[in-house]
Amino acid sequence: MKPRFLILLLLLSAVVAVTGWRMRNPPRGQTVDISRLIRGTAPDFQLLDQNNRPVRLQGYLNRFQVLVAFFDGQTGPDADPIMQSLKQFSGALRKNNIRILAISTPLNPQLKPQTLSYPFPVLRDTIAGTPESCCFRWGVCQQPPTAGKAAQITPALFLISQDGLIELNGQFPRPVADPLPAITKLVQGD
């Protein structure tokens, strides 16, 4: 056998061996979290804050990350652990370019003074439970309003990215799964 033929035979056997190994061990593709792909624009709203000034979500988008917290208007903000955590860490979140908006149904007069101690807008959804309401469009309306009783909303926390996108759960925004640890991570800059 000529050396040239021997070299070609060795190269051919190496190519066959590598091809067989690659067929048995295909390369792993990148894993993609599908929930991250289902994103949409956050539903806009304009509501009055605790000082009766109008606040619009659109004014915060494309400038800041925004935390939108819904709390039960029947018990007030001081009874909600998420609201307490946001109040405690509001300065650190602000330094991390994150703004906070809190929303509830209209508070009874005894609970309104609680909102004045919060360093961020505490908004009231006066038409909560109707299809045009902020609470309904964000998917947190538990029970529509009845005669003499405001609508009930589910306490929830939502994180809107700086580009105005939010994770969706069907047609509604998806709330943060574990709010208190999520707030701690945002404070730490994660």
> What pLDDT is recorded for position 36?
55
CATH number at residue 66: 3.40.30.10
Q: Is there a domain that residue 86 lies in?
A: yes
122-124 and 141-143 beta bridge pairing: unpaired
* DSSP calls for 66-101: EEEEE--TTT-GGG-HHHHHHHHHHHHHHHTTEEEE
Question: 123: closest CA among 181, 67, 56?
Answer: 56
| Block mean pLDDT (10 aa), the chain, length 190 | 82 88 79 66 94 94 95 91 96 96 90 92 89 90 72 92 91 93 90
> What pLDDT is recorded for position 56?
96
Residues in the chain: 190
> What pLDDT is recorded for position 6?
84
CA 100 – CA 67 distance, rounded (Å): 5
Q: Is there a domain that residue 136 lies in?
A: yes
Q: Is there a domain that residue 139 lies in?
A: yes
Q: Is there a domain that residue 10 lies in?
A: no
Q: Is there a domain that residue 17 lies in?
A: no
> What pLDDT is recorded for position 94?
95
> What pLDDT is recorded for position 22?
85
Look up the domain containing 82 and give its range.
41-188
Q: Is there a domain that residue 32 lies in?
A: no
> What pLDDT is recorded for position 11?
86
> What pLDDT is recorded for position 145?
67
Contact 99, 67 (CB under 8 A): yes
For the chain, the domain total comes to 1
> What pLDDT is recorded for position 66?
97
Contact 167, 186 (CB under 8 A): no
Residue 58 exposure: Cα atoms within 13 Å on the Cβ side: 5
